[in-house]
Structure 1
Amino acid sequence: MKFTKIEVTGDSSYISNVTYWIDNGTANADMYVKRTLNYGLRVFVDLQMKLADSKKYQSLFSYDVDVCKLLNEFFRESLLRSWYRNLLKYSNFMENCPIMEGFYYIRKLALEPNSIPPYLRSGDYRLCCTAYYGKRNSKKQRSVSNLTAYMQILS
């Protein structure tokens, strides 16, 4: 698996100085969290596969999770936890809540083969993640950040 493109945006009242880049198929990023991200932070994750001979993507599965609950139940097995454990190996991200103000980074992130479910066949994928407070897709949603990562799974 390799990353081919990354796009990150964020609300400047929460996150600043965001930079990101691809290096030999690995993902890298720097960002500064300007204020503590407290309980109630949620993330919507949508994994999509590019349809053959098309520019369109089809959603394979999506999760909408409470970030603090995910971190606090860190040792219970799920695909998201497996991906987050993988992310922790390449970053200084928090392992618990709240997520404190400060500088965070990712260096040379690559998904390890055992964190890729066997049913994901070779192809182009897009991972869309939105961190937010409130109720998703409503006027009460306050977006914190958006990440879109384009990846290729190679056989």
Structure 2
Amino acid sequence: MKAMQARLCRKNQLLFIAALLLALRVERSHEGKQNTALYFRSIEKSYNPKYVDSFACNISTDRSTISTSLNIAKNVSVDFWMKVAIAFKQQASKKYRSILSFNVNLCEVLRNEFNQQGLVHLWIRNLQKYSNMPRTCPWKAGSYYWLNLRPEAGTIPKFISAGLFRIDTQFYLKALNNEPFTNVTIVFELHRD
């Protein structure tokens, strides 16, 4: 029963992502341009000292980019998993409402990166433009960075309205009893005109 529920949940996630991709393709086919601005408000982070020596995140003074550095203390021989939850804060409410969540094997995404056109793959390619992150797994001990990271045009779907958003990202090691690796929460404002 649980296996069937897990397959159904995964199928629903894939259908939702497919709908997002279809919407992206439809939006890209329209002629008019819409200006989008994203401003980072805050970052909270934590890490597991068993695997990470240091982890720093900073927002630029104009709030348009983030720079991050990560020093991995020892080789990680199992796949990284990434759980992402994106929430929107409605103006009249003090609470965030979940709009999208997914849980993926990051190493599998990296292995198949050039064969896929999904939203997650677009975001990973964007991350890679600004970093020295490994393109494959396993990740070795060492220092990694993401400098002046910003969303690229076309990676924020046009059907997402302006407002305040929160992204909670958890990297963990599923093969090691879901041992946490790093957690990052980013709050940002999205403006459209």
Distance of 2:121 and 2:191 partners within structure 1: 23
Aligned equivalent of 1:113: 153
Aligned equivalent of 1:3: 40
User: Which runs of no fewer than 5 residues in structure 1 stay unpaired?
Assistant: none
Aligned equivalent of 2:31: none
Moved over 6 A (4+): none
Aligned equivalent of 2:98: 59
- Farther-moved stretch of structure 1 (19-28 vs 36-45): 36-45
- CA deviation after TM superposition for structure 1 residue 54, in Å: 2.0
- CA deviation after TM superposition for structure 1 residue 92, in Å: 1.1
Q: Output the TM-score relative to the length of structure 2.
A: 0.74
> Matched residue pairs, number?
151
User: Which runs of no fewer than 5 residues in structure 2 stay unpaired?
Assistant: 1-37
Q: How does 1:87-98 map to 2 (within 5 A)?
A: 87-98=127-138
Please state which structure has a larger fraction of its residues in helix.
2
Distance of 2:74 and 2:113 partners within structure 1: 23
- Farther-moved stretch of structure 1 (37-46 vs 141-150): 37-46
The structure that has the greater radius of gyration is: 2
Q: Output the TM-score relative to the length of structure 1.
A: 0.91
Alignment equivalent of 1:13, drawn from 38, 44, 50: 50
- CA deviation after TM superposition for structure 1 residue 124, in Å: 0.7
Check conservation: 2:45, 2:57, Cα contact below 8 A. yes
Measured on the aligned residues, the alpha-carbon RMSD in Å equals 1.4
Percent pairwise identity: 27
Distance of 1:68 and 1:54 partners within structure 2: 37
- CA deviation after TM superposition for structure 1 residue 31, in Å: 1.6
Aligned equivalent of 1:149: 186
Amino acid at match of 1:43: M
Alignment equivalent of 2:79, drawn from 40, 51, 55: 40
Alignment equivalent of 1:103, drawn from 123, 134, 143: 143
- CA deviation after TM superposition for structure 1 residue 55, in Å: 2.1
Report Cα offsets for 1:11-40 as digits up to 9, x if no partner: 001112212110022111112011222333
Aligned equivalent of 2:88: 49
Alignment equivalent of 1:131, drawn from 167, 171, 179: 171
- CA deviation after TM superposition for structure 1 residue 144, in Å: 0.8
- CA deviation after TM superposition for structure 1 residue 83, in Å: 0.8
Higher relative contact order (CA 8 A, sep 6+): 1
Check conservation: 1:2, 1:110, Cα contact below 8 A. no
| 1:83 maps onto 2:83 in alignment | no
Amino acid at match of 2:89: K
